[in-house]
């Protein structure tokens, strides 16, 4: 081995430096001495740099680098993560495929936080409840209760849950909405929240469509199925507020006229009174759309002006703040206001009935029909709602419901709780 250095290449073949330098023939004389001197010098350099050589070694035995690995182009252009994000350096790719080290912790935190979806309905004091939640946000945070209201959900958070024209495929919009909501849920769980109340009555549907269709939330099932997908992975519960049909429709019609909707004609009112879709059908659609989430029903006649009690029933907590709990917001316009609105629009205000106070567009027979339908809904809930929903009253979760009479002006029951039961 003296005077000779054996280098093994990546093909595991031994090649002497003399052969490499002379093209594969033995050297003699001066040429041999020159080769030996050069070989000795190379041995010294190789021993000094041997610690920097890593397998595999190139076959052509070139100059040794400090890192012998596959070389990627340093400036590969337009490295694409998705169709919106591009990078010039391929080294960025790994940042978008690695699983976050705390992903399991965030998923566990999200699963332990109760997400309460308060889906309305419209004209059931939802605005009063949202006002109460905003005004008491700091106190509620101290109790572990967070709140998302329309000011947040309608500012882009829920964009794409219902497809927007011109914004791409419906499924792509839905997936992006799910991603936005998931990020915000992780942030809420990281803050240590026990409950997150998401209150937006537009999740259930739009009142203008009710007025156009003369039906009660015809697309409630489709809408709630999309929201169920957006909140999948979270521990969710659904809360629905219901109201007596004649009062609900009268309030919706008054509010619609104030916002530019036409006055209802006689056959419109007849169609509403004869419509077969009521709260039972709405509850069935919602329950089928969110099969894994408990559904709770709260009558407006009990919880309409009691936002603190409504939140207590949602969370099971006691001693909640009562500040702003009895304030009424967004009430429907009364007859005097509606007359002025019609005048401003150049319409005849005499089309409205005389008097002041609340506008009731239905006849007595139509009112009786709508009230009877509401009683049927409550008795269905009383009978267990086929296991789909739970009715909550003032006395707690029970299997019965009762709506005050139209002429009743005081809370409570005249002859005790037993009078509410049907024989």
Average pLDDT over residues 224-233: 96
| Domain carrying residue 166 | 108-404
Q: Within a domain: residue 361?
A: yes
Average pLDDT over residues 411-421: 38
For residue 105, pLDDT beyond 70: no
CB 313 within 8 Å of CB 303: yes
Q: Within a domain: residue 164?
A: yes
The CATH number of whichever domain residue 131 belongs to comes to: 3.40.50
Average pLDDT over residues 287-297: 96
Res 45: pLDDT = 56
Q: Within a domain: residue 246?
A: yes
pLDDT in tens, 38-57: 555 665 555 555 444 444 44
Q: Within a domain: residue 349?
A: yes
For residue 323, pLDDT beyond 90: yes
Res 263: pLDDT = 95
For residue 71, pLDDT beyond 90: no
Which pairing describes strands 14-15 and 235-242: parallel, antiparallel, or unpaired?
A: unpaired
Residue 305 pLDDT grade (very low, low, confident, very high; cuts 50, 70, 90)? confident
| Average confidence score pLDDT of the chain | 79
The pair of structure tokens assigned to 236 is 């969710």
Q: Is the dihedral of CA 366, 367, 372, 377 positive or negative?
A: positive
DSSP SS3 for 104 = helix
Average pLDDT over residues 62-79: 46
Res 78: pLDDT = 46
Q: Within a domain: residue 386?
A: yes
Res 112: pLDDT = 83
**What gap in Å lies between CA 313 and CA 397, rounded to an integer?**
9
Average pLDDT over residues 271-280: 97
Res 324: pLDDT = 95
Q: Which residues pair with 397 in a beta bridge?
A: 392
DSSP SS3 for 80 = strand
Question: Over pLDDT 70: what percentage of the chain?
Answer: 67
For residue 224, pLDDT beyond 90: yes
pLDDT in tens, 124-138: 999 999 999 999 999
Residue 103 pLDDT grade (very low, low, confident, very high; cuts 50, 70, 90)? low
For residue 230, pLDDT beyond 50: yes
Number of domains in the chain: 1
Residue 393 pLDDT grade (very low, low, confident, very high; cuts 50, 70, 90)? confident
Cis bond before residue 130 (omega within 30° of 0)? no
Res 33: pLDDT = 52
Q: Within a domain: residue 50?
A: no
**Angle formed at CA 380 by CA 227 and CA 311, multiple of 5 degrees:** 50
Q: What is the DSSP string of 182-242?
A: HHHHHHHHHTT-SEEEEE-GGGT--HHHHHHHTSS-TTHHHHHHHHHHHTTTSEEEEEEEE
């Amino acid at each position: 081995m003296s005077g000779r250095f054996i280098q093994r290449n990546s093909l595991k073949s031994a090649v002497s430096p003399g052969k490499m330098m002379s093209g594969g023939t033995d050297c003699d004389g001066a040429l041999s001495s020159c080769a030996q001197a050069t070989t000795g010098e190379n041995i010294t350099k190789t021993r000094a740099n041997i610690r920097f050589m890593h397998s595999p070694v190139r076959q052509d035995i070139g100059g040794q680098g400090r890192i012998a690995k596959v070389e990627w182009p340093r400036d590969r252009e337009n490295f694409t993560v998705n169709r919106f994000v591009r990078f010039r350096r391929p080294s960025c790719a790994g940042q978008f495929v690695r699983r976050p080290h705390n992903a399991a912790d965030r998923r566990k935190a999200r699963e332990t936080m109760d997400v309460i979806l308060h889906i309305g309905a419209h004209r059931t004091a939802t605005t009063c409840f949202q006002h109460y939640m905003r005004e008491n946000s700091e106190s509620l945070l101290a109790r572990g209760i967070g709140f998302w209201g329309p000011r947040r959900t309608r500012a882009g958070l829920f964009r794409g849950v219902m497809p927007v024209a011109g914004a791409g495929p419906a499924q792509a919009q839905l997936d992006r909405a799910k991603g936005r909501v998931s990020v915000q849920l992780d942030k809420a769980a990281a803050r240590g929240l026990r409950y997150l109340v998401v209150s937006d009555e537009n999740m259930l549907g739009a009142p203008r469509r009710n007025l156009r269709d003369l039906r009660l939330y015809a697309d409630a099932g489709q809408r709630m199925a999309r929201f169920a997908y957006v909140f999948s992975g979270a521990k969710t519960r659904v809360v629905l507020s219901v109201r007596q049909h004649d009062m609900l429709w009268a309030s919706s019609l008054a509010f619609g006229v104030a916002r530019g909707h036409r006055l209802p004609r006689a056959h419109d009112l007849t169609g509403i009174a004869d419509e077969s879709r009521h709260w039972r059908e709405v509850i069935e659609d919602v329950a089928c759309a969110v099969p894994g989430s408990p559904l709770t029903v709260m009558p407006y006649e009990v919880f309409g002006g009691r936002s603190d009690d409504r939140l207590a029933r949602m969370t099971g907590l006691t001693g909640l703040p009562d500040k702003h709990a009895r304030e009424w917001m967004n009430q429907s316009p009364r007859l005097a206001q509606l007359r002025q609105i019609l005048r401003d629009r150049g319409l005849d205000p005499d089309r409205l009935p005389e008097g002041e106070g609340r506008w009731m567009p239905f006849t007595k027979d139509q009112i009786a029909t709508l009230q009877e339908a509401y009683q049927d809904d409550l008795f269905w809930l009383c009978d267990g709602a086929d296991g789909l929903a739970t009715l909550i009253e003032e006395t707690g979760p029970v299997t019965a419901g009762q709506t005050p009479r139209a002429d009743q002006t005081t809370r409570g029951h005249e002859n005790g709780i037993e009078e509410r039961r049907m024989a």
